A = this chain, B = another copy of it.
Amino acid sequence: MQIETPYLMFLGDVPDRLAAKTAYGIKDWRPEWCVGQLRLPGCAADLGIPDLTLAEAVQKGCRTMVIGVANAGGVLPEHWIAQVVAALDAGLDIASGLHARLGAVPAIAEAAERNGRQLHDVRHTAETFATGKGTKRPGRRLLSVGTDCSVGKKYTVLALEKGMRERGFDADFRATGQTGVFISGRGVAIDAVVADFISGAVEWIAPAAAPDHWDLLEGQGSLFHPSFAGVSLGLLHGAQADAFVVCHEPTRTTMRGVQHPLPTIQQVIDLTIQLGSLTNPDIRPVGIAVNTQDLEEGAARALLADLARTHDLPATDPVRFGVEGIVDRIVAEFPPAVTGASA
């Protein structure tokens, strides 16, 4: 699945900013793809980009209208359908992060057919995956792992993509969740993949590459999360990660959605190495990424310094303080074999 860019961001009439979380994520990381937004009366979200009509969006070069919003139940409200049909008639593809399939709405399926346009349901996949093979493939891979869900695993690898490219690395973000798929224009939401094929899907998402190429894989869940550890393990095995960054949110007391306490960062490091060794015996940590948005700068810097000392790893908030230390560690641990990425 390759979603054509740039995007017209459809926000519908969502009642708050949170319902447009995916759209904000796309805007944060791919502002150059977000040409404009289309909002219905009553919409409480605003990406701060121009409001465009469908005709204006097409005229400015938009290729796809992105439904990067959620509504209760994940369904497509009746009054959005006419907008989607009109967008197809205007010549745009549609990409949706809703649970409901676009093509299941007859009017939308007919309009796509009539106009020869693509419908992308990011939460579903038409791709058929093989089961994972576990055979070592060329290219370098880094995976973000976590003490919990929603601790910054996507933002960490997106920041690393930017930071590593600035330092001359050939590095690509690899999405495993719906927002990430919109941000990269490709990839597979792992929560659309049937259990037997998790590792195989990850092998497909991050395939064999040049020896010095880095795939930066968005992790999911946590090896310590009772709901999602299986997904995290399949991702780890499929990634055959050379390197990993541990992501953490310091104000969290129990794991998201359950009563379990958070593991320590050291426990995550140890278990990731232990289990990751099955498909890559050389796996090693290269940093700690902490979401410090609830801490003042002084407290954040003190926490990061303490974590760096304790674990002998660069520790940073990738969004707030950058990823330079982690990139330095990657350069030191994995000296380029062929061409030089600058240190």
Q: How far is the CB of A30 from chain B (nearest CB, A)?
A: 25
Decide if A180 is an interface residue (CB 8 Å cutoff): no
A226: which of B199, B259, B260 is its contact (CB, 8 Å)? B199
A227: which of B194, B200, B227, B229 is its contact (CB, 8 Å)? B200
A-side interface size class: 20 to 34
Decide if A278 is an interface residue (CB 8 Å cutoff): yes
Binds B, one of A57-65, A231-239, A312-320: A231-239
Binds B, one of A167-175, A185-193, A204-212: A185-193
Q: Chain B residues with Cβ under 8 A from A237's Cβ?
A: 226-227, 229-230
> CA of A132 to CA of B260 in the docked complex: distance in angstroms?
12
> CA of A198 to CA of B229 in the docked complex: distance in angstroms?
10
> CA of A191 to CA of B200 in the docked complex: distance in angstroms?
13
Q: Work out how many copies of this chain go into the complex.
A: 2
Q: Chain B residues with Cβ under 8 A from A233's Cβ?
A: 229-230, 233
Decide if A184 is an interface residue (CB 8 Å cutoff): no
Known contacts A132-B226, A135-B259, A278-B224: A195-B200 contact under CB 8 Å: no
Q: Chain B residues with Cβ under 8 A from A71's Cβ?
A: none
Decide if A16 is an interface residue (CB 8 Å cutoff): no
Known contacts A135-B259, A226-B133, A228-B131: A234-B278 contact under CB 8 Å: no
Q: How far is the CB of A187 from chain B (nearest CB, A)?
A: 15
Decide if A257 is an interface residue (CB 8 Å cutoff): yes
> CA of A189 to CA of B230 in the docked complex: distance in angstroms?
16
A279, B194: Cβ atoms under 8 Å? no
B228, A231: Cβ atoms under 8 Å? no
Q: How far is the CB of A295 from chain B (nearest CB, A)?
A: 29
B196, A194: Cβ atoms under 8 Å? no
Residue of B nearest to A135 (CB): B259
Q: Chain B residues with Cβ under 8 A from A278's Cβ?
A: 224, 226, 229, 260
A227, B257: Cβ atoms under 8 Å? no
Decide if A103 is an interface residue (CB 8 Å cutoff): no
Decide if A134 is an interface residue (CB 8 Å cutoff): yes
Apart from A191-B194, A226-B237, A230-B231, list 4 A-B contacts with CB within 8 A. Answer: A133-B227, A195-B231, A230-B230, A230-B234
- Supply 15 A–B pairs (Cβ within 8 Å), ascending by A: A131-B257, A132-B227, A134-B227, A135-B259, A191-B195, A193-B194, A195-B195, A196-B231, A198-B230, A199-B229, A227-B237, A229-B234, A229-B275, A229-B278, A230-B237
- Nearest 4 CB-CB pairs, A to B? A230-B234, A134-B226, A132-B227, A131-B227
